[in-house]
Amino acid sequence: MRIKLSPFSADETLVLSRSGESITINGMKLDFEALPDGAMLPATATGCPWLYGPVQRIDGELTLTVRLPHGAQASEQSRFPVDIVNPPDGRVPLPTDNDPQPESLGLAWTDTVGVIDWSQMITAEMKQEAAAAQHLAGVQAEAATRRAVADSAIAPLQDAVDIDDATAAEVLSLKAWKKYRVALSRLPEQPGYPVDIDWPAPPA
């Protein structure tokens, strides 16, 4: 488990404890054992205001960010905290200027089990699908841009041919641009599309 700390100035207090894949934040116990590798949960799925950013499992390691309150005269270790890596089960020491006991915060030793909305989980497969869709959209946008350039070049050359006013060089240029446009239209037929693309070169 890796606990990142996001410091902020406030007259509040934070108490953390760990039990396996569960973490208790100011009396709210959240169990992330069911989070698979590569997946993430947005902080909103936990209902815990002390979590900042998503909870993720990266290469098997559970990673989460907890908001760390500090006073106006906080020490440097409170204002610029380092990650807490693999703390043992039990109370997690924090780089704060005071170390209150749960009783002083009105917290009971018996944790309240938080309810996690697992429907908000984004799995590794979902991330891959989203990345693939984004990449495909980028490729299609680039192809459309290149197609627009070809269309712009072809239009006046085709006009010249249609009215029998094209020079020999313009006829050759028109053919070259049309070949280029056809090659662009056949990009999806390439074996590596859309990851590996052999973009056709436009006419000189």
Is there a single domain that holds both residue 11 and residue 112?
A: yes
Is there a single domain that holds both residue 83 and residue 184?
A: no
Quote the distance between the C-alpha of residue 60 and its chain's center: 18
Secondary element (H or E) of residue 16: strand 16-19
Coil, strand or helix at 20: coil
Is there a single domain that holds both residue 8 and residue 108?
A: yes
pLDDT at site 101:
55
Percentages of the chain per state (helix, strand, coil), in multiples of 5: 35, 20, 40
| Listed residues 122, 146, 180: the one ending a domain | 122
How far is residue 198's CA from residue 192's CA, in Å, rounded to a whole number? 9
Is 21 inside any structural domain? yes
Is there a single domain that holds both residue 151 and residue 167?
A: yes
In contact, 32 and 2? CB cutoff 8 Å: no
Q: Tell me which residue of 44, 204, 197, 202 sits closest to 114, measured CA to CA.
A: 44
pLDDT at site 74:
83
Is 117 inside any structural domain? yes
In contact, 39 and 22? CB cutoff 8 Å: no
Is there a single domain that holds both residue 7 and residue 80?
A: yes
Question: How many C-beta atoms lie closer than 10 Å to residue 181's C-beta?
Answer: 19
| Listed residues 122, 149, 166: the one ending a domain | 122
pLDDT at site 73:
82
| Listed residues 122, 156, 176: the one ending a domain | 122
Instruction: Give the chain's domain count.
Output: 2
Is there a single domain that holds both residue 114 and residue 133?
A: no
pLDDT at site 106:
54
pTM attached to this predicted model: 0.66
Is 194 inside any structural domain? no
Question: How many C-beta atoms lie closer than 10 Å to residue 155's C-beta?
Answer: 12
Show the domain range for 71: 2-122
Q: How many helices (H) and strands (E) does the chain have?
A: 3, 10
Quote the distance between the C-alpha of residue 61 and its chain's center: 17
Is there a single domain that holds both residue 7 and residue 96?
A: yes
Is there a single domain that holds both residue 109 and residue 147?
A: no
Each residue's pLDDT, cut to its tens digit, for the chain (204 residues) gives 999 999 999 888 899 999 999 999 999 999 999 999 999 999 999 999 999 999 999 999 999 999 999 888 888 888 899 999 999 999 999 987 555 555 555 554 456 888 899 999 999 999 999 999 999 999 999 999 999 999 999 999 999 999 999 999 999 999 999 999 999 999 999 999 999 999 999 998
